[in-house]
Chains A and B, each alone.
Chain A
Amino acid sequence: MAAPLNSSATATVVARANALFEDLSFTSARQWKAAKPGRKVIGYMPIYVPREIIHAADMLPLGIVGGGDQLEVIHGDAYYQSYICRIPRSTIELGVSGRLDFVDGMLFPSICDVIRNLSGMWKLMFPNVYSRYFDVPQNYQDDTGGNFYINELTELRHDLGKLRGKPITDDEIRRSIAAYNENRKLVRDLYAFRAEQPWQAPAAEVYLVVRAGLVLPVEDHSAMIRDYLAAVQAEERPRRDNCRIVLTGTFCEQPPLNLIKSLELSGCYVVDDDLLLVTRWLIGDVSADGDPLQNLSLAFLHHSESTAAKYEPNQKEKGQHLVRAVKRSGAEGVIFAAPSFCDPALLERPMLQHVLKSAGIPYIAFKYAENSGQMQPIREQAGTFADSIKLWSAA
């Protein structure tokens, strides 16, 4: 019953998302900025920034997650030692090569020492660009970490208001919270749909559609997700005899698109992941009533994703998010994929593996770089993993 019209609708959305993904000049963001005088673009790096505040200032939040496998790093290597992940090199390359020359500000969230130090490098290399290390609390009590975070949000709000030339009002932030609530709900719907019918929404397509949210205005992105969901729900796609896995460790430097495709080609449907976490960092809706900064703070403290960049105060809770993700998505195993030299992901990995082992959930692990080219070893490893899961399941 696959109607050509629906296939075409899916292909159209995916083609647009893919074009945005491949465009290392960020043409759509440039066009957005040029469309109206005074518009500003604020770049941000993984894992999380409160995009609502940028949006509330009538600015475009632009997610920068490195240069991928299509960017040749020429200058970036001169800024880094031998042993380091690739995302800072390629991000420097994007900056030095002028690809980010239209960006008015950059936010470097608290995730690891590399991104942290990159914030200082940006200040030195691009002194005319507003740049800020965006700190978040590791204490999750309302009157301790919460107060600290509200003050950090207040500073960001003040800075962006100054950059705009007009303070950001509470109502503007409330409207932005509503826009992002809608977007987060759509991303959740998309993930839930994929978990239910992963053959209908292949991981690479879902990745591209979600990733488009890093460069598009949130309203456009929400429309894109709606279009994609409508198109794939109306289409019938072939179902493979794949196992179902959760992909984890991919929250910062992104794996090449080919890696995500390779997992499915080798027999693993990705039914949950931690790619592009900013799009669903906050779990559930943020209240759009009352004090907007307090609401964003409460959401961060009590309703945000667990990941390696966060401290888990409760040992019993350590790694349980992954177990829950496996159960929620009906996964049969976990693939740990971490960027080489990624301190958070690689330090976290043994602890998560111990939790999975206790829960009887099988896993495999490998490393990648955003420009990894050889997929054969990963296909073999993932394929063997898929086979072994089927064997265990049969037993």
Chain B
Amino acid sequence: MNTATKIITSRAPAKEIVKDASMLKQKEMMAAHYDRLTSAPDTGAKVAATFVPGNLNELIMCFDLVNNLPEVNAIQNGLRRVSGSYVLEAEKIGHSEDVCTYVKSDIGMMAKGNIAPNGKKFPDPDVLLLSYTGCFTFMKWFELLREQYKCETVMLHTPYMGDGKITKNMVDYMVKQLKDDVIPTLERVSGVKFDIDRLREYLKKSTKAEDDLVRVLQSAKTKPSPIDAYFGGIYYIGPIFGAFRGTEDAIDYYRFLREEIEDRLAKGQGPVTPDGDMGKERYRLVVEGPPNYTSFRQFWKMFYDEGAVVVASSYTKVGGVYDFGFRHDPDKPLETLAEYCLGVYTNRSLPMRIDMLVSYINDYEADGLLINSIKSCNSFSAGQLLMMREVEKRTGKPAAFVESDLVDPRYFSAANIKNRLESYFQMIDQKRASAAAAA
């Protein structure tokens, strides 16, 4: 199955961007979702705004609510290169230059008409489901949105795994919030009575998609890796982290994706990049931290031009960590939602995050760790330099550190990042040469 397709973007007519068939399929899914969202005022559908980490999509669907994820909107605006103007707009109306640019992109977008990627206006949410995990900023973000939308807001507070474990106290606390606050609020807003069996059915579907996602991610253990688990991985996580977990669409997408990757695996092919098939795999990296979205392709190109493929990344675990065995469990529907929220990457303590990265480097036979430290994301970034040292110490593999931002183009310095990456690749070469000489 050779499914790579060349498309021509309207933004860069002279440049052909190559996309996998799975990417095109996902694009259709996203477009359909945005249409469903923006047509809500006509169809009468109710809208729940919520977040990616701690996304309770299965529960939301039990109330026939349409899910709107402000981080995903910010990412779309970053990729479409309009987030910079939104960030500036938010700063103009009083938001600090120091804070999260996802928040400012969202606030700025609202100030400029709240236009979705399909060119239509986003509907105001009927409910803000403040289910968040692993990031303090989310809490303030929805307080800011509540001030604007003046709609009902309900919180699900996820405790932090500071001691590296999920305790009964944490799960009980979350289940109680779900039973006493979240579910009654969603019932009231939607007018739909909660049916736990309906939730179980969605959770069963989630599990199927999660199985296939893990098989896709773990295909990168093969040499050469058929996927890029960071830049490509961001496409792969889109449906399951967004509005599709628990749906037939997600099952179909991840089965299709797995088959596509298995085909590449069978043919010994590397990842598809925007410029076509990647050349020879020269470096295998693990990446920690989110990408920069305003220069996403430029950033990616710096890797694949050098034959560097990302074989595992932490960012693709920010909406759920599935590759260490967790699956949504329909037999304990509310507890499983709690455990899912508790286990997402940024809700894990720094020692746990280090353990994960070390395990990735060993299991995926990576050459080292690259950290992209995000200026306005302390949840990820605070402590990353210590993580880098620890990972180096425990694996003996070199690490490197670059800085950029999520959706603020002012903080992407291409020359600096390229220089750092080139030096890093030289470091890996030297390390290999030394190892070969010693052998």
Contacts and interface: CB of A to CB of B under 8 A. Distances in A.
A113 B98 contact: no
Interface residues of A, number: 60
Contacts of B181: 139, 144
B287 to A, nearest CB: 16
Interface string A157-196: 0000000000000000000000000000000000000000
Given A113-B135, A120-B383, A124-B351, A347 B144 contact: yes
Contact of A347 (B137, B155, B379, B384): B137
Interface string B353-384: 11000000000000000000101101101111
B150 interface: yes
Contacts of A308: 140
A311 to B, nearest CB: 5
A130 to B, nearest CB: 11
Name the residue among B136, B153, B177, B375 with the largest chain A CB count within 10 angstroms.
B136
B301 interface: no
Interface string A329-344: 0000000001011111
Contacts of B354: 124
B16 interface: no
B180 A79 contact: no
B173 A81 contact: no
Nearest to B97: A346
A112 interface: yes
Which of A124, A338, A347 has the most chain B CB atoms closer than 10 A to its own CB? A347
Interface in A270-329: 308-309, 311-313, 315, 318
A23 interface: no
A308 B169 CA distance: 25
A123 interface: yes
Contacts, number: 168
A312 to B, nearest CB: 7
A342 B94 CA distance: 15
A393 interface: no
Majority SS at the chain A contact face: helix
B163 A112 contact: no
Contact of A113 (B103, B353, B379): B379
Contact of A318 (B139, B143, B172): B143
Contacts of A120: 162, 349-353, 383
B159 A135 contact: yes
Interface in B298-326: none
Contact of B136 (A83, A116, A315): A116
Contact of A346 (B99, B130, B143, B176): B99
Interface string A63-91: 00000000000000011111110001000
Contact of B98 (A108, A118, A346): A346
A147 interface: yes
Chain A CB within 10 A, most for which of B94, B169, B170: B169
Nearest to B384: A81
Nearest to A119: B162
B96 A349 contact: yes
Nearest to B174: A148
A143 B176 contact: yes
B233 to A, nearest CB: 23
A312 B130 CA distance: 12
Nearest to B103: A347
Contact of B144 (A133, A342, A351): A351
Contacts of A354: 147
B196 interface: no
Interface string B131-173: 0000111011101101100100101010110110000011011
Interface string B376-398: 10110111111000100000000
Interface centre among A132, A341, A353 (most CB of B within 10 A): A341
The listed residue with most B CB atoms (<10 A of its CB), out of A83, A123, A340, A346, is A83
B348 to A, nearest CB: 9
A8 interface: no
B265 interface: no
Contacts of B386: 79, 121, 124-125
B95 interface: yes
A114 interface: yes
A200 interface: no
Contacts of A37: none
B180 A141 contact: yes
A348 B137 CA distance: 10
A114 B354 CA distance: 17
Contact of B382 (A88, A124, A353): A88
Contacts of A108: 162
B110 to A, nearest CB: 13
Contacts of B373: 81
Given A116-B136, A121-B350, A350 B98 contact: no
Contacts of A341: 98, 378
A118 B155 contact: no
A137 interface: yes
B144 A135 contact: no
A362 B227 CA distance: 56
Contacts of A151: 169
A350 to B, nearest CB: 5
A372 B387 CA distance: 29
A150 B96 CA distance: 36
B49 interface: no
A118 B382 contact: yes
B100 interface: yes
B403 interface: yes
A346 B99 CA distance: 7
Interface in A122-158: 123-125, 132-133, 135, 137-139, 141, 143-145, 147-148, 151-152, 155
Contact of B378 (A110, A112, A141): A112
A300 B368 CA distance: 46
A343 B385 contact: no
A110 B172 CA distance: 19
B368 to A, nearest CB: 19
A81 B180 contact: no
Nearest to A116: B160
Given A139-B155, A341-B98, A133 B382 contact: no
B159 A148 contact: yes
20 contacts: A79-B385, A81-B382, A82-B375, A83-B375, A113-B379, A114-B382, A117-B350, A117-B378, A120-B162, A120-B349, A138-B139, A139-B177, A144-B180, A147-B173, A155-B169, A315-B150, A347-B96, A347-B144, A350-B95, A367-B96
Given A123-B349, A155-B169, A343-B99, 18 more contacts: A78-B385, A79-B386, A80-B385, A81-B385, A83-B403, A84-B378, A88-B382, A108-B162, A113-B135, A113-B382, A120-B350, A123-B351, A141-B180, A148-B170, A343-B140, A344-B136, A347-B140, A351-B144
